[in-house]
A and B are shown apart, each in its own frame.
Chain A
Amino acid sequence: MTTATVKKIRRAFTGNEAGAEAMRQINPDVAAVFPITPQTELMHAFASFVANGKVKTELVMVESEHSAMSATVGASAAGARAMTATSANGLALMWEIVYIAASSRLPIVMPIINRALSGPINIHCDHSDMMGCRDSGWIQMFSENSQEEYDNLIQAIRIAEHPDVLLPVMVGQDGFIISHSLESVEVFDDEEVRDFIGEYHPKNPLLDTDHPYTFGPLDLQDYYMEHKRQQHQGMQNARQVILDTGKEFGEKFGHHYSNFEEFHLEDAEIGMIALGSTAGTAKVAVENLREQGKKVGLLKLRVFRPFPFKELVEAVKHLKGLIVLDRSDSFGAMGGPVFLDVSASLNNLTKKPVTRNLIYGLGGRDMKVQDLEKIFGMMEKTVKTGKGAGSSQYYGARGDD
């Protein structure tokens, strides 16, 4: 699969270190930092690159995440390549400005170290933080492991800054499970990465005083809707840009990316959709069950916004059963956020797979290979008997099994 000849070295990195390494190579003009577990170590590592002169970044230490996103928006509007990073409640505190970043069409890239939102207070992984701002207008990607965190961040710069897109990107990695776990990561040559990313030429920088622009003005019934329509179009355009960038990245570096990864899915009867680190664990479950002759497969969702509904339908429409895993709840909805989008995507199919949704792993609850094997078995039964079809349930919560 790897045909690329780019120089690379194998390093032992935690997910946070992999994120910091990508940021070192990206060398943003400005980074705003505020600590929050489990993100703290990423910016800690990056701050030492700044202190040691490995990057030219201006590090802005702020007093809250609301200020971190505000400083990033300000820097980006001024014409800088600007980044910040956060987790859970930090992202929640940024909320107001997260929307402003997207609607101001600022190509900010932000690693999110996925963590459960309070309360009760919990520092471990789930996806409620990123899912909470799925309608904010940011492009959203999830990483299976440290390698993907690194690869996704590099691609995210290209995607965000593409003139047809001009939207911010958040790249998720599972808190602690990936962020604090040491793994093998292939790191590419600095020059090759910088060559791939390219120099940043901001479209309408505020500091270009010869061509003055206004950012963030009052925009009422007269033009607000046109601006939203353009923002909508930017997100639509991102679909092709994400695919093109993934392809180019693969050709250059040997790691191939699309909206999602199919794992033994093509000839499968029972499929599973998962994202983040669980997708890796699910691959082992699929391999184990395949050895027993079970026709199971996995679709690992990488890009959640824009949701790749057309391609996803093509990839799963042949299945008899499809189980969708959500690591966050959408309280009061028909199911978790991934399930809602998958169900809506399948809506126009005349013959569709039997679906089921499980909400799992909240607040870092472990999901084992054996659990995933059991879930495939559950889904096989649902296909046979119809029992549980279309339902959404918690998996692994006491008193529920």
Chain B
Amino acid sequence: MKKRMKEVRWHGRGGQGAKTAAFLLAEAAMDDGKYFQGFPEYGPEREGAPIKAYTRISDRPILQHDAVSDPDVVIVLDDTLLGSVPVTDGVVEDTILMVNTKMTPDEVVKKIDWHGGRVYTIKATDIAMETIGKPIPNTPMIGAFIGATGMINEKALESKISHKFLKKLGQEGVDANIEAVRKARKAIAEVKDK
């Protein structure tokens, strides 16, 4: 059965912002005129514990409310999760994998026996440190996601970031996050067509 939407699964550790990223991507999709869902998987919540969150994006209203079982994109915010949680669950041959790591895509493929589609690695924590000044990889990973998939418009994400974070982070914080998004998107775009 052909899927009617795109589904993203986020893997992170409690405190890394997987849920925030899943929601932020969903909200950016809304500003891009699309339908969306964003939801975390709730278990026992502890800082540092592995958590999953999901984003669904579609051109038409999303009616289903089941869990995501065969994601189109898997995003891993923390490479210590590779090999310790099943990031390959439900992966099909064209599922894209994106990992925040210093490893190369080949090293990631070997480590987790990846059988899906393209693999992108990105030093999102470094980018976050350079731009935002904190080791929070989630906004750069959304930038990387846009670079790899083109699934939503970068401008929609940027305006969502300024709208959502201006009060909390100020203009400087907003600009830093937008810079992080741009850097990550560019880094992915450079390797995408190789």
Q: Does B bind A?
A: yes
A interface residues, Cβ below 8 angstroms from B = 10, 12, 123-124, 145, 174, 176-178, 180-184, 277-278, 280-281, 283-284, 288, 366-369
- In the complex, chain B residues 1-44 whose Cβ is within 8 Å of any chain A Cβ: 1, 4, 23, 26-27, 30, 35-40, 42
In the complex, chain B residues whose CB is within 8 Å of the CB of A123? 42
Nearest Cβ in chain A — how far from B156, in angstroms? 12
The distance in angstroms between the C-alpha atoms of A176 and B65, with both chains bound, is: 10
B84 at the interface (CB under 8 A from A): no
**Chain A contact residues, majority secondary structure:** mixed
Interchain nearest-CB distance for A73 vs B (Å): 32
A366: which of B1, B36, B66 is its contact (CB, 8 Å)? B66
Q: A277-B65, A366-B66, A369-B66 are in contact. Are A181 and B39 (CB under 8 A)?
A: yes
Cα distance A280–B4 when bound, in Å? 14
Our pick among A182, A280, A366, A368 for the contact of B39 (Cβ within 8 Å) is A182
Q: How far is the CA of A178 from the CA of B62 in the complex (A)?
A: 13
B63 touches A180 (CB 8 A): no
B143 to chain A minimum Cβ distance, whole angstroms, is 20
- Sorting the interface of chain B by its residue count into under 10, 10 to 19, 20 to 34 or 35 or more gives 20 to 34
- Some 27 contacts from A to B, beta carbons below 8 A apart, are A12-B23, A12-B26, A12-B36, A12-B38, A145-B65, A174-B65, A176-B42, A177-B39, A177-B65, A180-B40, A181-B37, A181-B38, A181-B39, A182-B26, A182-B37, A182-B38, A184-B35, A184-B61, A281-B64, A281-B66, A283-B64, A284-B4, A284-B63, A284-B64, A366-B67, A367-B66, A368-B69
Considering the chains assembled together, what is the distance between the CA atoms of A27 and B27 in angstroms?
27
Q: Is the CB of A184 within 8 A of B64?
A: no
In the bound assembly, the distance between CA atoms of A270 and B66 in angstroms comes to: 22
Residues of the A chain whose Cβ atoms lie less than 8 Å from the Cβ of B36: 12, 182-184
Whole-angstrom distance between the alpha carbons of A332 and B37 in the complex?
Answer: 38
Question: 0/1 per residue, B54-65, Cβ < 8 Å to A?
Answer: 000000011111
Contacts of A367 in B (CB 8 A): 66
- Minimum C-beta distance from A280 to chain B (A): 4
* Chain B residues whose CB sits within 8 angstroms of the CB of A366 once the complex forms: 66-67
**Which residues of A are found within 8 Å of B62, using beta-carbon distances?**
183
Question: A278 — which chain B residues lie within 8 A by C-beta?
Answer: 65
A283 to B64, CA, bound (A): 8
Taken together as a complex, chains A and B put the C-alpha atoms of A369 and B27 apart, in Å, by 25
A7 to B98, CA, bound (A): 41
CA distance A278 to B30 in the complex (A): 23
Q: Which B residues are in CB contact (< 8 Å) with A12?
A: 23, 26-27, 30, 36, 38
- Residue of B4, B23, B30, B69 near A184 (CB, 8 A) is B30
Q: Provide the residues of chain A in CB contact with B42, threshold 8 Å.
A: 123-124, 176, 180
**In the complex, the 6 A-B pairs of residues with the closest C-beta atoms, listed nearest first:** A182-B38, A277-B65, A181-B39, A280-B63, A281-B64, A368-B66
A368 and B37 contacting across the interface, CB-CB below 8 Å: no
